[in-house]
């Protein structure tokens, strides 16, 4: 996985709330999903509650709940998300303005191989994003080596 630098001084409290998935890097866990969104809630113990919801490729509503923790207080944009046993992952906020967009990146190295699995998302507070903002988000991902050609639009017309 590449060495990454998350957005400096991420304010997790400002980040909480509802985010719609506008684009995602194709992955086996979300193939064909639509109307995907995530709600983040700050918990009293400092963790962040995570509720992911979507309509799967068969048209069935699905949700999964978990929590996220900031891995290092000096790097608040790098979180670890936990959805249960053996369901942990990184959630790296590469860029956000809190009000309109967020670019998130995650990468998992497969042990004892030279293989990794990359995840990337462009999120919005609304079900759409202006083209100029999408282009800005694609530039951020391109600096990580994630091509916009590998991104799929997530339908939000449910």
CA distance 158 to 155: 8
Q: How many residues comprise the chain?
A: 158
- Residue 70's CB is within 10 A of a number of other CB atoms, namely 18
Binding residues for substrate: 87
Q: What are phi and psi of 81, to 5 degrees?
A: -105, 140
CA dist 87 and 52 (Å) reads: 14
CA separation for the pair 135, 13 (Å, rounded): 26
CA-to-CA distance for 99 and 89, rounded, in angstroms?
25
First to last CA, the chain: 35
- The first and second tokens of residue 149, run together, are 């050609």
Binding residues: 87
């Amino acid at each position: 996985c590449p060495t990454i630098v998350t957005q400096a001084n991420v304010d997790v409290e400002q980040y909480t709330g509802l985010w719609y998935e506008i684009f995602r890097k194709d992955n086996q866990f979300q193939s064909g999903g639509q109307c995907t969104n995530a709600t983040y809630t700050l918990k009293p113990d400092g963790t962040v509650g995570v509720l992911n919801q979507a309509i799967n490729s068969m048209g069935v509503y699905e949700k999964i709940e978990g929590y996220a923790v900031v891995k290092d207080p000096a790097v608040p944009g790098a979180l670890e998300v936990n959805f249960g046993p053996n369901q942990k992952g990184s959630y790296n906020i590469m860029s956000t303005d809190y009000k309109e967009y967020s670019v998130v990146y995650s990468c998992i190295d497969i042990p004892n191989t030279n293989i990794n699995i990359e995840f990337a998302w462009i999120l919005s507070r609304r079900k759409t994003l202006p083209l100029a903002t999408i282009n800005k988000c694609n530039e951020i991902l391109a600096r990580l080596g994630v091509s916009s050609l590998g991104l799929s639009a997530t339908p939000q017309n449910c």
